[in-house]
Copies of this chain bind each other. A is one copy, B any other.
Amino acid sequence: MSEEASVVIRPIQETDKDDWLLLWKQYQKCYNRTMKEDIPLLTFERFLDPEVKMWAAFAINTTTNKPIGMVTYLHHFTTWNLDGKIFLHDLFVQEDQRVKGVGRKLMEFVYDASDRMDVPFVYWTTDDFNHRAQLLYTKVGKKTSKVLYERGGYGIFS
């Protein structure tokens, strides 16, 4: 409980660039992927760009004042309602900081942000074999009956 109390979620800000890159590299490892640094750096700039409806937040350990997790999300329109919806894109908590409620706090931060934008539809995906993530998702969300297809020959879905 005291551990949960020591984590706070806040939006990414200008001075977070190096911490962002560090966390993103750890995140890529979970997917056994690497990308050139320019992608996470330009993505970082988009989070701060008021013209782009894409955002990120850090989970900060208030004792060390260091980020131990992150979440990203974006808005896009749909044809079925006028407000569009929020796609919760990435969720990451450092391995040794898990099972303490940090992931849930990051998701709830997105829920709150969505409510404030009056776009309360939030959705996300995960690999069907990622059971650890789904132990959380069954508590805060609802699995749909949807399967996801992608155009072949253009790399895996991301």
Beyond A39-B81, A150-B123, A151-B121, is A135–B132 a contact (Cβ under 8 Å)? yes
Residues in B neighbouring A144, C-beta threshold 8 A:
147-150, 156-157
Distance between Cα atoms of A140 and B150 in the complex (Å): 9
- Is there contact, CB below 8 Å, between A146 and B157? yes
Q: Does A116 contact B (CB under 8 A)?
A: no
* A 118-135 contacts with B by CB, 8 A: 120-129, 131-132, 134-135
A interface bracket (residues with beta carbon within 8 Å of B): 35 or more
- Is there contact, CB below 8 Å, between A141 and B149? yes
Residues in B neighbouring A89, C-beta threshold 8 A:
78-79
Total copies of this chain within the assembly = 4
18 more contacts with CB within 8 A, not counting A43-B82, A127-B147, are: A43-B79, A54-B77, A54-B79, A74-B77, A123-B150, A123-B151, A125-B149, A126-B146, A126-B149, A127-B146, A135-B135, A141-B149, A141-B150, A142-B152, A143-B149, A144-B147, A144-B150, A147-B148
Residues of A within 8 A of B (CB): 35, 39-40, 42-43, 46, 52, 54, 56, 72, 74, 76-82, 87, 89-90, 111, 114, 120-129, 131-132, 134-135, 137-138, 140-152, 154-158
